[in-house]
């Protein structure tokens, strides 16, 4: 009998087929939207499967490290467009309703009032 327990052959020297793939996501066989648990699960599965072949393990570890570092960088430096966010907030119905309830005085009135307070304060 060639097969070991569970009808699994001994693949301890199996070579990782995507060892030369440059994209770390394709190398691990996951999508770019994969969660950290999915990334870790893919890494653990592949490490266990190709544990007997050091270059395969190194390629898997390298892909995992690249993905984790990229996710860390994205979390540390989020791409938030503040102008876009402010535009979205200003266009919301709630903000428009609140602004509609209050009136802003004209600039001329504000300047006259400021001068009057300055004169009275001195």
- pLDDT confidence of 12, banded at 50, 70, 90? low
What pLDDT does residue 29 have?
A: 94
Lowest-confidence pick of 43-47, 54-58, 78-82: 78-82
pLDDT for res 94? 82
pLDDT at 4: 45
Q: Where are the domains of the chain?
A: 5-76, 84-121
**C-alpha span between 72 and 90 (Å, rounded):** 31
Task: Tell me if residue 71 falls in helix, strand or coil.
Answer: helix
Higher local confidence (pLDDT), 91 or 105: 105
Pick the CATH number of 5-76 from 2.20.130, 1.20.1300, 3.30.460, 1.10.287: 1.10.287
E strand intervals along 8-97: none
Give me the pLDDT at residue 9, please.
Answer: 52
Mean per-residue pLDDT of the chain: 85
Structure tokens at 103: 């009136």
State the first-to-last Cα distance of the chain, in angstroms, to the nearest integer.
104
* Cα–Cα nearest to 24, from 61, 58, 67: 67
Q: What is the pTM of this model?
A: 0.55
């Amino acid at each position: 009998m060639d097969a070991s327990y569970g009808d699994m052959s001994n693949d301890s020297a199996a070579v990782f087929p995507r060892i030369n793939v440059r994209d770390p996501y394709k190398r691990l066989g996951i999508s770019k939207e994969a969660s950290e648990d999915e990334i870790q699960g893919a890494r653990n599965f592949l490490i266990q499967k190709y544990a007997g072949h050091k270059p395969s393990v190194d390629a898997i570890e390298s892909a995992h490290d690249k993905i984790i570092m990229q996710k860390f960088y994205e979390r540390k430096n989020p791409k938030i467009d503040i102008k876009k966010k402010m535009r979205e907030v200003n266009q919301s119905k709630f903000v428009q309703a609140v602004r509609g309830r209050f009136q802003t005085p004209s600039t001329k009135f504000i300047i006259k009032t400021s001068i009057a307070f300055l004169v009275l304060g001195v």
